[in-house]
């Protein structure tokens, strides 16, 4: 459940370290959530050929996560422009919480931007690290599917 560990790390940075995720960070979380869900289902059926379909879903989720992370890396490195809504100036009405907005305004912190790197390790941002990690998870899923399909 390494995928779950990466998701937990993202939540740690958000809620403990105070690094709010930008829009592209959230896109990556969608992929990892699909990947984790598919991997859990594959694990439930690990002793039958029924594990192949959820394994494929998991692999596709992790590939989508890697794609979003690669796109995010390009935005951070200014290789291409990111979504216009990544300036942090828009509100999602469906999840609008006036108390959270008030707390954010009181904090004096700027809204997260997709084209800025708020944290790095060894010179690589979270999005940079996420590309090979997600591709590694996808490869593990594909290897597991191959093993199951061979019987």
**pLDDT < 70: residue spans in the chain:** 1-3, 87-111, 151
Check which CATH number belongs to the domain holding 77 and give it.
1.20.1550
pLDDT for 108 equals 59
pLDDT for 22 equals 87
Residue 42 lies in a domain: yes
Residue 38 lies in a domain: yes
pLDDT for 103 equals 66
CA separation for the pair 23, 41 (Å, rounded): 28
Residue 50 lies in a domain: yes
Q: Token pair for residue 57?
A: 């879903």
Domain total of the chain: 1
Percentage of residues in the chain having pLDDT higher than 90: 36
Please tell me the pTM assigned to this model. 0.77
Give the angle 71-100-116 at the CA atoms, nearest 5°.
Answer: 25
Q: Percentage helix, strand, coil, to 5, in the chain?
A: 70, 5, 25
Enclosing domain of residue 127? 2-82+114-150
Q: Is the alpha carbon torsion for 10, 88, 96, 109 positive or negative?
A: positive
Residue 100 lies in a domain: no
């Amino acid at each position: 459940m390494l995928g779950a560990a990466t998701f937990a790390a993202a939540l740690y940075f958000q809620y403990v370290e105070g690094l709010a995720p930008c829009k592209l960070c959230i896109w990556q979380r969608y992929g990892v959530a699909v990947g984790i869900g598919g991997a859990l289902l594959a694990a439930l059926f690990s002793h039958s050929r029924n594990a192949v379909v959820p394994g494929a879903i998991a692999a596709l989720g992790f590939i989508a996560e890697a794609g979003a992370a690669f796109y995010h890396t390009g935005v951070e490195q200014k290789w291409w422009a990111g979504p216009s809504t990544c300036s942090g100036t828009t509100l999602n009405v469906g999840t609008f919480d006036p108390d959270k907005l008030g707390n954010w305004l009181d904090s004096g912190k700027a809204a997260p931007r997709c084209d800025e790197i708020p944290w790095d390790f060894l010179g690589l941002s979270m999005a940079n690290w996420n590309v090979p990690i997600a591709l590694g998870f996808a490869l593990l899923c594909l290897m597991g599917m191959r093993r199951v399909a061979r019987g």
